[in-house]
Amino acid sequence: MPRPRSRSRALAPVAVLCALTTATAAGATEQLVDGIAAQVGPDVVLVSEVNDFAASVETQVRSQGGSEADLARMKSEILERLIERRLIEQVVKRAELQATDPEVDSTIKAIAEENGLSMEQLRQSVEANGLTMEAYRERIRGDIQRTKVLNVMVRSRVKVDEREVRKAYDEQYAKQPEGGDELHLRHILVTFGAETKRDEATACGAVKSALAEVRSGKPFEQVAAKVSELNPERGGDVGWVSATTLAPWMSPIVAKLEPGQTSDVVRMPFGCNLLQLVERRQFRKKSYDDVKPELQAALFEQRTEGEYVKFVNKLRGQTYIERKDAFAAAKGSTTPSPLGPGKEEFSEGSAYAP
């Protein structure tokens, strides 16, 4: 679904929860008590919170051949994000950095405008992904508050000097082509094979369904956000690339596309693919001055993310965190924490990189 672009790193959403009471056939009432997935200082993460968020992606995991063990790992990762969110919420309260309703309204309006959607279309997109608008608002509120924490407590410590920017330019632009076309591409990729526990038919079936959605009029980036393993947070956007640097299998396919067109499903040994050509232009070599602001911003954000991880790790180290029951067992394969079973410190997971 649409998310803020470059506003903050995406965090797992916190669903709106309530206690449930049901009546038996005999007329007696039974209180359904929600379980605790983790204790985070004075706060808790409920099992239902983990399950509510998992429900929005469980269908996709299963459709791609995921096992029960894969789902358990996914829920464990979701719990880690929710633990992180609880820690940030505690900082927000102490530092009085709460996001106001007008701030949330303004951000949601900007998200809709950036994605070319009306507010009603955004609501439909949110609900199609299994969230209520109220739950979506709380997700956005959390993202705003995380950004405030970043600005106040992390970004102020981050510095990028000229030598680092020059080094990044030399590394990224030293071998620029002399000419030719430059292409703006989007890419949907679903892999298959032993490592993914997904067969070719499942992977290519998902990509064929994605192609059908795109050709029926759904924006490529919205489909990619749900399906693709490559840059889903950017709607499969690869950015601008020189035609001379394309992989050999891509070149003849992209050469036949006009701006706005999407390829047929392309099966490769590593997975099934869709390519969309957004725009084509003549390549022009980029000077240091051309890309200096972009490189500075990228280095600053990279350094900020590193400092943020340190900041959160410090919070974890200062806070009593206990994962309960199955979640404690799921973390049991990691190095034990001095705090005891189920209380080990956080370790940032690696992102998928094909």
pLDDT in tens, the chain (354 residues): 444 333 333 333 222 222 222 222 333 333 345 799 999 999 999 999 898 888 867 777 777 677 888 888 889 999 999 999 999 999 999 999 999 999 999 999 999 998 888 999 999 988 887 788 998 999 899 899 989 998 999 998 899 999 999 999 999 888 777 767 899 999 999 999 878 878 999 999 999 999 999 999 999 999 999 999 999 989 999 999 988 889 999 999 999 999 999 999 999 999 999 999 999 998 888 899 999 999 999 999 999 989 999 999 999 999 999 999 888 876 643 333 333 333 333 333 322 222
Let me know whether 76 and 162 are in one domain. Answer: yes
Q: What is the pLDDT of residue 343?
A: 37
Tally of domains in the chain: 2
H/E stretch holding 182:
strand 181-191
Last residue of a domain, one of 223, 248, 282: 282
Q: Can you give the CATH number for the domain in which 104 is found?
A: 1.10.4030.10
Let me know whether 195 and 109 are in one domain. Answer: no
Last residue of a domain, one of 231, 252, 282: 282
Domain coverage including residue 205: 177-282
Let me know whether 142 and 184 are in one domain. Answer: no
Last residue of a domain, one of 230, 254, 282: 282
Q: What is the pLDDT of residue 193?
A: 86
Q: What is the pLDDT of residue 1?
A: 46
Let me know whether 109 and 248 are in one domain. Answer: no
Q: What is the pLDDT of residue 331?
A: 60
Calpha distance 316→84 (Å, rounded): 8
- Kindly state the tokens that stand for 273: 């693919």
Three-class SS of residue 276? strand
Let me know whether 28 and 110 are in one domain. Answer: yes
Let me know whether 135 and 236 are in one domain. Answer: no
* Residue in the structure block whose two tokens are 């950036």: 114
Let me know whether 143 and 78 are in one domain. Answer: yes
Q: What is the pLDDT of residue 330?
A: 66
Let me know whether 220 and 317 are in one domain. Answer: no
Contacts with 96 (C-beta within 8 Å, 6 or more apart), sequence order: none
Let me know whether 208 and 266 are in one domain. Answer: yes
Let me know whether 163 and 30 are in one domain. Answer: yes
Calpha distance 211→220 (Å, rounded): 9
Calpha distance 219→227 (Å, rounded): 13
Task: For the chain, give percent helix, strand, coil, nearest 5.
Answer: 50, 15, 35
Three-class SS of residue 46? strand
pLDDT digits (tens, 9 = 90+) for 23-71: 223 333 333 457 999 999 999 999 998 988 888 677 777 776 778 888 8
Let me know whether 32 and 144 are in one domain. Answer: yes
20-23 and 29-32: which strand pairing?
A: antiparallel
Let me know whether 2 and 56 are in one domain. Answer: yes
pLDDT digits (tens, 9 = 90+) for 13-32: 222 222 222 222 333 333 34
Q: What is the pLDDT of residue 341?
A: 35
